[in-house]
Protein backbone atom coordinates (compact mmCIF):
# COMPACT_ATOMS: atom_id res chain seq x y z
CA UNK A 1 0.00 0.00 0.00
CA UNK A 2 2.89 2.35 0.77
CA UNK A 3 4.05 2.29 -2.86
CA UNK A 4 0.87 3.99 -4.06
CA UNK A 5 0.66 7.74 -4.62
CA UNK A 6 -2.29 9.90 -3.65
CA UNK A 7 -3.46 9.72 -7.27
CA UNK A 8 -3.42 5.92 -7.02
CA UNK A 9 -5.39 6.06 -3.77
CA UNK A 10 -8.01 8.25 -5.40
CA UNK A 11 -8.29 5.92 -8.37
CA UNK A 12 -8.38 2.69 -6.38
CA UNK A 13 -10.56 3.75 -3.43
CA UNK A 14 -12.35 6.96 -4.43
CA UNK A 15 -10.75 8.82 -1.51
CA UNK A 16 -7.51 10.72 -1.08
CA UNK A 17 -4.90 9.03 1.10
CA UNK A 18 -5.35 11.43 4.01
CA UNK A 19 -9.14 11.03 3.80
CA UNK A 20 -8.84 7.24 3.94
CA UNK A 21 -6.63 7.48 7.02
CA UNK A 22 -9.04 9.88 8.73
CA UNK A 23 -12.08 7.71 7.98
CA UNK A 24 -10.33 4.52 9.14
CA UNK A 25 -9.50 6.26 12.41
CA UNK A 26 -13.03 7.61 12.83
CA UNK A 27 -14.53 4.16 12.18
CA UNK A 28 -12.08 2.67 14.70
CA UNK A 29 -10.81 0.02 12.30
CA UNK A 30 -8.87 -2.30 14.64
CA UNK A 31 -5.19 -3.14 14.45
CA UNK A 32 -4.15 -6.57 13.19
CA UNK A 33 -7.47 -7.59 11.65
CA UNK A 34 -8.00 -11.37 11.88
CA UNK A 35 -4.62 -11.67 13.63
CA UNK A 36 -2.71 -10.38 10.60
CA UNK A 37 -0.06 -7.69 11.09
CA UNK A 38 -2.00 -4.97 9.29
CA UNK A 39 -2.41 -1.31 10.13
CA UNK A 40 -6.03 -0.06 10.20
CA UNK A 41 -5.62 2.06 7.07
CA UNK A 42 -4.17 -0.90 5.13
CA UNK A 43 -7.09 -3.15 6.10
CA UNK A 44 -9.51 -0.39 5.14
CA UNK A 45 -7.62 0.15 1.88
CA UNK A 46 -8.02 -3.53 0.95
CA UNK A 47 -11.74 -3.42 1.69
CA UNK A 48 -12.31 -0.18 -0.26
CA UNK A 49 -10.44 -1.45 -3.32
CA UNK A 50 -12.64 -4.54 -3.27
CA UNK A 51 -15.82 -2.47 -2.95
CA UNK A 52 -14.84 0.21 -5.46
CA UNK A 53 -13.60 -2.10 -8.23
CA UNK A 54 -15.17 -5.49 -7.59
CA UNK A 55 -11.76 -7.14 -7.86
CA UNK A 56 -11.41 -10.83 -7.08
CA UNK A 57 -9.30 -11.85 -4.14
CA UNK A 58 -6.50 -12.99 -6.44
CA UNK A 59 -6.33 -9.55 -8.09
CA UNK A 60 -6.44 -7.87 -4.68
CA UNK A 61 -3.62 -10.10 -3.46
CA UNK A 62 -1.37 -8.88 -6.28
CA UNK A 63 -2.34 -5.23 -5.80
CA UNK A 64 -1.80 -5.30 -2.06
CA UNK A 65 1.11 -7.78 -1.99
CA UNK A 66 -0.74 -10.05 0.43
CA UNK A 67 -1.79 -13.70 0.41
CA UNK A 68 -5.26 -14.51 -0.91
CA UNK A 69 -6.19 -16.01 2.46
CA UNK A 70 -5.25 -12.73 4.14
CA UNK A 71 -7.32 -10.71 1.68
CA UNK A 72 -10.32 -13.01 2.16
CA UNK A 73 -10.27 -12.81 5.95
CA UNK A 74 -9.73 -9.05 6.01
CA UNK A 75 -12.64 -8.41 3.64
CA UNK A 76 -14.87 -10.83 5.55
CA UNK A 77 -14.05 -9.25 8.92
CA UNK A 78 -14.49 -5.65 7.78
CA UNK A 79 -17.74 -6.45 5.99
CA UNK A 80 -19.26 -7.68 9.26
CA UNK A 81 -17.58 -5.02 11.38
CA UNK A 82 -18.60 -2.05 9.26
CA UNK A 83 -22.12 -3.33 8.64
CA UNK A 84 -22.91 -3.58 12.33
CA UNK A 85 -21.54 -0.16 13.27
CA UNK A 86 -22.98 1.81 10.34
CA UNK A 87 -26.48 0.34 10.00
CA UNK A 88 -27.78 2.32 13.01
CA UNK A 89 -26.59 5.48 11.22
CA UNK A 90 -28.84 4.73 8.24
CA UNK A 91 -32.04 5.15 10.26
CA UNK A 92 -33.63 8.57 10.15
CA UNK A 93 -33.99 8.79 13.94
CA UNK A 94 -30.19 8.62 14.17
CA UNK A 95 -29.73 11.73 12.01
CA UNK A 96 -29.11 13.98 15.00
CA UNK A 97 -28.45 17.11 12.97
CA UNK A 98 -31.49 16.69 10.73
CA UNK A 99 -34.23 18.32 12.88
CA UNK A 100 -32.40 21.64 13.04
CA UNK A 101 -31.89 21.57 9.27
CA UNK A 102 -35.46 20.76 8.17
CA UNK A 103 -36.72 24.33 8.11
CA UNK A 104 -33.68 25.51 6.15
CA UNK A 105 -34.05 22.67 3.63
CA UNK A 106 -37.75 23.38 3.13
CA UNK A 107 -37.14 27.10 2.63
CA UNK A 108 -34.21 26.56 0.27
CA UNK A 109 -36.29 24.30 -1.98
CA UNK A 110 -39.17 26.79 -2.17
CA UNK A 111 -36.93 29.79 -2.83
CA UNK A 112 -35.24 27.93 -5.68
CA UNK A 113 -38.58 26.73 -7.14
CA UNK A 114 -37.69 23.11 -6.36
CA UNK A 115 -40.74 22.57 -4.14
CA UNK A 116 -44.29 23.83 -3.57
CA UNK A 117 -45.13 26.35 -0.85
CA UNK A 118 -46.83 24.62 2.07
CA UNK A 119 -45.87 21.09 1.02
CA UNK A 120 -43.15 20.89 3.72
CA UNK A 121 -41.25 18.37 1.59
CA UNK A 122 -37.68 17.96 2.82
CA UNK A 123 -36.72 14.54 1.42
CA UNK A 124 -37.41 12.13 -1.43
CA UNK A 125 -37.97 8.38 -1.51
CA UNK A 126 -37.20 5.81 -4.18
CA UNK A 127 -36.19 2.19 -4.60
CA UNK A 128 -33.10 0.52 -5.99
CA UNK A 129 -32.11 -3.07 -6.67
CA UNK A 130 -28.80 -4.90 -6.84
CA UNK A 131 -28.48 -7.92 -9.12
CA UNK A 132 -26.72 -10.84 -7.49
CA UNK A 133 -25.75 -14.43 -8.22
CA UNK A 134 -27.72 -17.44 -7.01
CA UNK A 135 -26.68 -18.63 -3.58
CA UNK A 136 -25.02 -22.00 -3.06
CA UNK A 137 -27.69 -22.97 -0.52
CA UNK A 138 -30.37 -22.29 -3.13
CA UNK A 139 -28.71 -24.57 -5.66
CA UNK A 140 -28.22 -27.41 -3.18
CA UNK A 141 -31.29 -27.24 -1.00
CA UNK A 142 -33.94 -25.44 -3.01
CA UNK A 143 -35.64 -22.15 -2.24
CA UNK A 144 -35.51 -21.13 1.38
CA UNK A 145 -36.98 -18.14 3.15
CA UNK A 146 -34.02 -15.90 2.36
CA UNK A 147 -34.01 -16.89 -1.30
CA UNK A 148 -37.75 -16.26 -1.62
CA UNK A 149 -37.16 -12.78 -0.27
CA UNK A 150 -34.76 -11.89 -3.06
CA UNK A 151 -36.07 -13.81 -6.10
CA UNK A 152 -37.78 -11.65 -8.71
CA UNK A 153 -39.96 -13.90 -10.83
CA UNK A 154 -41.19 -11.09 -13.08
CA UNK A 155 -37.69 -10.08 -14.17
CA UNK A 156 -36.38 -13.67 -14.06
CA UNK A 157 -33.37 -12.67 -12.03
CA UNK A 158 -32.30 -12.41 -8.40
CA UNK A 159 -32.32 -9.02 -6.74
CA UNK A 160 -31.66 -7.39 -3.42
CA UNK A 161 -34.17 -4.56 -3.13
CA UNK A 162 -33.60 -1.39 -1.12
CA UNK A 163 -35.63 1.72 -0.38
CA UNK A 164 -33.88 4.97 0.46
CA UNK A 165 -34.86 8.42 1.69
CA UNK A 166 -32.46 11.15 0.57
CA UNK A 167 -32.29 14.84 1.42
CA UNK A 168 -31.39 17.73 -0.91
CA UNK A 169 -27.95 18.07 0.70
CA UNK A 170 -26.99 14.79 -0.99
CA UNK A 171 -27.28 12.41 1.96
CA UNK A 172 -29.21 9.20 2.49
CA UNK A 173 -30.92 9.53 5.86
CA UNK A 174 -32.82 6.23 5.85
CA UNK A 175 -32.26 2.87 4.16
CA UNK A 176 -34.49 -0.17 4.40
CA UNK A 177 -34.98 -3.46 2.63
CA UNK A 178 -37.97 -2.86 0.40
CA UNK A 179 -39.99 -6.01 1.01
CA UNK A 180 -43.77 -6.17 0.93
CA UNK A 181 -44.00 -6.44 4.71
CA UNK A 182 -41.57 -3.64 5.49
CA UNK A 183 -42.77 -0.13 6.13
CA UNK A 184 -41.08 2.99 7.47
CA UNK A 185 -42.42 4.37 10.75
CA UNK A 186 -44.38 7.64 10.32
CA UNK A 187 -42.34 9.75 12.69
CA UNK A 188 -40.95 12.60 10.59
CA UNK A 189 -42.07 16.12 11.40
CA UNK A 190 -41.80 17.15 7.79
CA UNK A 191 -42.74 15.19 4.69
CA UNK A 192 -41.20 12.92 2.07
CA UNK A 193 -42.07 13.01 -1.64
CA UNK A 194 -42.46 9.88 -3.77
CA UNK A 195 -43.92 9.02 -7.16
CA UNK A 196 -47.57 7.85 -7.48
CA UNK A 197 -46.53 4.24 -6.88
CA UNK A 198 -46.35 5.12 -3.17
CA UNK A 199 -49.41 5.55 -0.97
CA UNK A 200 -50.04 9.08 0.26
CA UNK A 201 -50.04 9.59 4.03
CA UNK A 202 -49.41 12.23 6.68
CA UNK A 203 -45.66 11.96 6.07
CA UNK A 204 -45.58 10.97 2.40
CA UNK A 205 -46.62 13.25 -0.47
CA UNK A 206 -47.12 11.63 -3.87
CA UNK A 207 -47.79 12.95 -7.35
CA UNK A 208 -51.32 13.46 -8.66
CA UNK A 209 -52.66 10.74 -10.96
CA UNK A 210 -55.15 10.93 -13.81
CA UNK A 211 -55.60 12.79 -17.09
CA UNK A 212 -57.92 15.56 -15.82
CA UNK A 213 -55.46 17.42 -13.63
CA UNK A 214 -55.77 21.09 -12.79
CA UNK A 215 -52.95 23.45 -13.84
CA UNK A 216 -51.81 23.66 -10.21
CA UNK A 217 -51.69 19.87 -9.92
CA UNK A 218 -49.72 19.60 -13.16
CA UNK A 219 -47.28 22.24 -11.93
CA UNK A 220 -46.79 20.43 -8.64
CA UNK A 221 -46.21 17.11 -10.42
CA UNK A 222 -43.65 18.67 -12.74
CA UNK A 223 -41.82 20.55 -10.00
CA UNK A 224 -41.68 17.70 -7.51
CA UNK A 225 -40.83 15.01 -10.06
CA UNK A 226 -37.87 17.07 -11.22
CA UNK A 227 -36.67 17.25 -7.62
CA UNK A 228 -37.37 13.61 -6.78
CA UNK A 229 -34.86 12.46 -9.38
CA UNK A 230 -32.17 13.49 -6.88
CA UNK A 231 -32.66 10.13 -5.18
CA UNK A 232 -31.67 8.46 -8.44
CA UNK A 233 -28.60 10.68 -8.53
CA UNK A 234 -27.61 9.31 -5.14
CA UNK A 235 -27.99 5.71 -6.29
CA UNK A 236 -26.00 6.57 -9.43
CA UNK A 237 -23.24 8.02 -7.24
CA UNK A 238 -23.13 4.79 -5.23
CA UNK A 239 -22.76 2.73 -8.41
CA UNK A 240 -20.13 5.09 -9.83
CA UNK A 241 -18.15 5.12 -6.60
CA UNK A 242 -18.41 1.38 -5.97
CA UNK A 243 -18.47 -0.55 -9.22
CA UNK A 244 -18.85 -3.92 -7.55
CA UNK A 245 -22.62 -3.39 -7.96
CA UNK A 246 -22.58 -2.87 -11.72
CA UNK A 247 -22.13 -6.42 -12.98
CA UNK A 248 -24.68 -9.18 -12.53
CA UNK A 249 -23.19 -12.26 -10.90
CA UNK A 250 -20.28 -10.44 -9.25
CA UNK A 251 -22.07 -10.52 -5.91
CA UNK A 252 -22.92 -13.82 -4.27
CA UNK A 253 -25.18 -14.63 -1.34
CA UNK A 254 -23.56 -15.66 1.90
CA UNK A 255 -19.96 -16.51 2.72
CA UNK A 256 -17.28 -13.86 2.88
CA UNK A 257 -18.76 -11.94 -0.04
CA UNK A 258 -21.54 -10.54 2.16
CA UNK A 259 -23.45 -8.82 -0.63
CA UNK A 260 -26.34 -7.93 1.66
CA UNK A 261 -23.93 -5.85 3.74
CA UNK A 262 -21.99 -4.27 0.88
CA UNK A 263 -24.73 -1.91 -0.29
CA UNK A 264 -25.51 -0.29 3.10
CA UNK A 265 -21.77 0.16 3.67
CA UNK A 266 -21.44 1.79 0.24
CA UNK A 267 -24.39 4.07 1.05
CA UNK A 268 -22.71 5.19 4.27
CA UNK A 269 -19.35 5.79 2.59
CA UNK A 270 -21.11 7.79 -0.13
CA UNK A 271 -22.64 9.95 2.62
CA UNK A 272 -19.15 10.61 3.97
CA UNK A 273 -17.85 11.36 0.49
CA UNK A 274 -20.67 13.84 -0.12
CA UNK A 275 -19.96 15.57 3.21
CA UNK A 276 -16.31 15.90 2.26
CA UNK A 277 -16.74 16.93 -1.36
CA UNK A 278 -20.37 17.85 -2.05
CA UNK A 279 -22.62 16.12 -4.57
CA UNK A 280 -24.79 16.60 -7.63
CA UNK A 281 -27.86 17.04 -5.41
CA UNK A 282 -26.29 19.61 -3.08
CA UNK A 283 -25.13 21.63 -6.10
CA UNK A 284 -28.53 21.37 -7.80
CA UNK A 285 -30.56 22.37 -4.74
CA UNK A 286 -27.92 24.76 -3.37
CA UNK A 287 -28.15 23.03 0.01
CA UNK A 288 -24.75 22.28 1.53
CA UNK A 289 -24.20 19.01 3.43
CA UNK A 290 -23.38 19.21 7.14
CA UNK A 291 -20.11 21.11 7.65
CA UNK A 292 -17.02 19.16 8.61
CA UNK A 293 -14.14 21.37 7.43
CA UNK A 294 -13.01 18.54 5.19
CA UNK A 295 -11.78 16.46 8.12
CA UNK A 296 -13.24 13.49 9.98
CA UNK A 297 -11.06 12.30 12.85
CA UNK A 298 -13.39 10.65 15.32
CA UNK A 299 -16.55 8.56 15.25
CA UNK A 300 -18.48 11.24 17.13
CA UNK A 301 -17.71 13.63 14.26
CA UNK A 302 -19.16 11.12 11.79
CA UNK A 303 -22.21 10.79 14.02
CA UNK A 304 -22.61 14.55 14.28
CA UNK A 305 -22.45 15.34 10.56
CA UNK A 306 -24.60 12.40 9.49
How far, in Å, are 136, 181, 225 from residue 140 at the CA level? 6, 27, 45
Give the pairing type, strands 191-194 and 204-206.
parallel
What pLDDT is attached to residue 58? Answer: 93
Task: Print burial letters for 275-289: b (CB count within 10 Å at least 16), e (below 16).
Answer: bbeebebbebbebbb
For the entire predicted model, the pTM comes to 0.77
- The pLDDT, as a whole number, for residue 101 is 74
Could you tell me where the beta strands, DSSP code E, fall in 184-293?
Answer: 191-194, 204-206
DSSP run (H or E) holding 129: strand 121-131
Q: pLDDT digit string (tens) for 132-162?
A: 765 555 444 443 434 444 555 555 567 777 8
Strand partners, 163: 127, 176
Q: Which H or E element spans position 126? A: strand 121-131
Q: Report yes or no: 132 and 253 within 8 Å, Cβ to Cβ.
A: yes
Please report the pLDDT score of residue 167 as a whole number: 84
Q: Is the pLDDT of residue 184 over 50?
A: no
* CA–CA gap between residue 296 and residue 304 (Å, rounded): 10
List, for residues 45-64, the tens digit of each pLDDT value: 999 999 999 898 999 999 99
Q: Per residue in 248-279, pLDDT tens?
A: 445 554 444 567 788 899 999 999 999 888 88
Amino acid sequence: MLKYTDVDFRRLTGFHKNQLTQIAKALKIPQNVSNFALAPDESFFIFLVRLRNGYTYSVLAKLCNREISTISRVVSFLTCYLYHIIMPKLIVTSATRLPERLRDIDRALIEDDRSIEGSNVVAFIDGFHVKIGRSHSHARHGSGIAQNAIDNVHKKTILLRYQAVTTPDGLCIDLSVSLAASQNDPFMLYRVYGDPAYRSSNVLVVGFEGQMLTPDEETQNKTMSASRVSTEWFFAAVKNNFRIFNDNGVLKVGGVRGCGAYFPIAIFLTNIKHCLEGSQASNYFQVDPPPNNGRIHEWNEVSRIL
